[in-house]
C-alpha cells in the first residue's frame, strides 16, 4: 500500500489529535499555533489512512523551534497505528518515520523534538545510519518528568498521605496560620512580577521569548484551557505564590510555579501545589504532570508530592 506525506490543515490535525494516544496540551493544534509564528502539520498516510502526525513549529524569523513552555512536542501516532499487530508495528513505524525524515531533512537537514512518554520504542531513530559516524546519527537523550496519576480516585486525605511528611507539615502550617488566602484570579502584571522575582532569586536570566508569550498564557485562562492558583498574604494583600496549569487530554500540566523567596518557610509553595492538585481533580483530569524532573533539587521537590518518575526521550539530528 502506498506511503505518502502531506500537510494537514489545523482542522484535520485536530481531528487526528483527538484520536491519538500521544495527544497533549502542547501538541494540540489550536494551542500550539498560539505559541508559534507558524506550525506545519506533517502527516504520513498509508493509503488514505493517516498513521503519523508530526508538528513542526517556526519562529517569526523562520527558524524551526519548539514552542516556549512545551513538553513532548514531536511525532504522534494515530489510534489505528497504535493498535496494529505486534508483527507489523516495527515495520510500519520504520516506513512511516523514514518518510517523515526525508521531508524534514530536505527542508533544513536536521531537527529536534521530544517524544510522548508512551512513545518508548526509539529503535527507528537509533538505527538510522546504523554503524555510521556520530554526526550522521540521531542523539537520543533520556529525560524524566514527574506525574501524579489517578486523581479522580484520590480524596484530599489520599493526596496528602502520598506526600512526604515535610510537605504535609508545611501545608498544615500555612492553612492553620489564618494568614493566607487562595485565589484563582491573579492579574497578569502581578504574575509577571512574581515570575521575575523567582527567576532573579534563583540566579537565572529572564528569557525574552518566554516573557513575550505571557499574554498568550493568560488568554488560555480566559478560554478555559488553563487555570491559575495563587496564594495571597491577607495582611499585605500581596500574591506570594502562584501556579499556572495547562489542561491537556485528561492531564494537567504545571507549566509555571512561582514563590516569593521570603515566604519559602511559610508553607505557601506546597499549599499552592496542593490546591492545584485538587483543582485538577475537580476539572476531571486524571494525571497531574509536573513537567520535568531533570535536576537534583527540582526533581526531588516534585517527587515529594508523591509523583512517580516518567521517562521520555529527546531526539536531535544531527547527533
Q: Is the same domain home to 7 and 135?
A: yes
* Range of the structural domain that residue 209 is part of: 150-285
Residues forming beta bridges with residue 177, ordered by sequence position? none
Q: Which stretches of 212-307 are DSSP H helices? A: 214-223, 268-282, 296-303
- 57 lies in the same domain as 121: yes
Residue 227 domain-assigned? yes
- 93 and 68 in one domain? yes
Alpha-carbon span 123 to 51, nearest angstrom: 18
Q: What is the dihedral of CA 211, 214, 216, 217, to 10 degrees?
A: 130
Q: Tens of pLDDT along the chain (319 residues)?
A: 689 999 999 999 999 999 999 999 999 999 999 989 999 999 999 999 999 999 999 988 888 889 989 999 999 999 988 888 887 889 889 999 999 999 999 887 788 999 999 999 999 999 999 988 888 899 999 999 999 999 999 999 999 999 999 999 999 999 999 999 999 999 999 998 999 888 888 777 777 778 888 899 999 999 999 999 999 999 999 999 999 999 998 999 999 999 999 999 999 999 999 999 999 999 999 999 999 999 998 899 999 999 999 999 999 998 7
Q: Is residue 301 in a domain? A: no
CA–CA distance, 248 with 254 (Å, rounded to integer): 11
3-state secondary structure of 291: coil
In this structure, is residue 295 part of a structural domain?
Answer: no
CATH number of residue 228's parent domain: 3.40.630.30
Residues 6+ apart with CB under 8 A from 8: 16, 41, 42, 43, 50, 53
Q: How far apart are CA 318 and CA 110, in angstroms?
A: 6
Question: Where among 144, 170, 199 does a domain terminate?
Answer: 144
The reply to whether 281 falls in a domain is yes
When divided into structural domains, the chain yields a total of 2
Tell whether 315 is covered by a domain: no
Q: Is 120 in the same domain as 167?
A: no
Question: Do 134 and 160 lie in a common domain?
Answer: no
The pTM assigned to this predicted structure is 0.93
Amino acid at each position: 500500500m502506498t506511503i505518502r506525506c502531506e500537510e494537514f490543515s489545523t482542522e484535520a490535525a485536530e481531528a487526528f489529535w483527538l484520536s491519538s494516544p500521544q495527544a497533549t496540551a502542547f501538541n494540540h493544534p489550536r494551542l500550539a499555533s498560539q505559541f508559534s509564528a507558524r506550525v506545519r502539520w506533517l502527516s504520513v498516510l498509508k493509503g488514505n489512512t493517516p498513521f503519523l502526525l508530526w508538528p513542526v513549529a517556526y519562529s517569526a524569523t523562520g527558524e524551526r523551534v519548539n514552542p516556549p513552555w512545551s513538553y513532548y512536542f514531536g511525532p504522534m501516532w494515530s489510534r489505528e497505528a497504535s493498535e496494529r499487530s505486534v508483527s507489523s508495528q516495527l515495520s510500519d513505524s520504520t516506513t512511516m518515520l523514514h518518510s517523515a525524515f526525508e521531508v524534514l531533512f530536505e527542508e533544513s537537514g536536521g531537527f529536534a523534538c521530544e517524544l510522548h512518554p508512551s512513545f518508548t520504542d526509539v529503535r527507528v531513530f537509533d538505527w538510522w545510519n546504523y554503524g555510521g559516524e556520530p554526526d550522521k546519527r540521531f542523539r537520543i537523550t533520556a529525560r524524566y518528568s514527574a506525574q501524579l496519576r489517578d486523581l479522580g480516585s484520590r480524596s484530599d486525605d489520599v493526596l496528602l498521605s502520598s506526600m512526604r511528611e515535610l510537605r504535609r507539615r508545611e501545608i498544615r502550617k500555612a492553612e492553620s496560620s489564618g494568614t493566607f488566602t487562595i485565589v484563582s484570579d491573579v492579574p497578569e502584571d502581578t504574575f509577571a512580577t512574581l515570575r521575575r522575582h523567582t527567576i532573579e532569586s534563583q540566579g537565572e536570566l529572564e528569557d525574552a521569548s518566554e516573557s513575550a508569550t505571557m499574554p498568550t498564557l493568560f488568554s488560555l485562562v480566559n478560554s478555559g484551557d488553563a487555570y491559575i492558583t495563587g496564594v495571597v498574604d491577607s495582611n499585605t494583600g500581596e500574591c506570594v505564590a502562584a501556579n499556572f496549569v495547562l489542561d491537556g487530554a485528561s492531564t494537567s500540566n504545571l507549566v509555571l510555579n512561582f514563590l516569593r523567596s521570603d515566604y519559602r518557610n511559610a508553607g505557601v509553595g506546597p499549599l499552592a501545589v496542593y490546591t492545584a492538585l485538587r483543582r485538577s481533580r475537580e476539572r476531571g483530569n486524571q494525571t497531574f504532570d509536573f513537567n520535568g524532573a531533570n535536576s537534583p533539587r527540582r526533581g526531588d521537590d516534585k517527587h515529594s508530592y508523591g509523583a512517580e518518575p516518567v521517562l521520555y526521550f529527546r531526539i536531535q539530528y544531527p547527533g
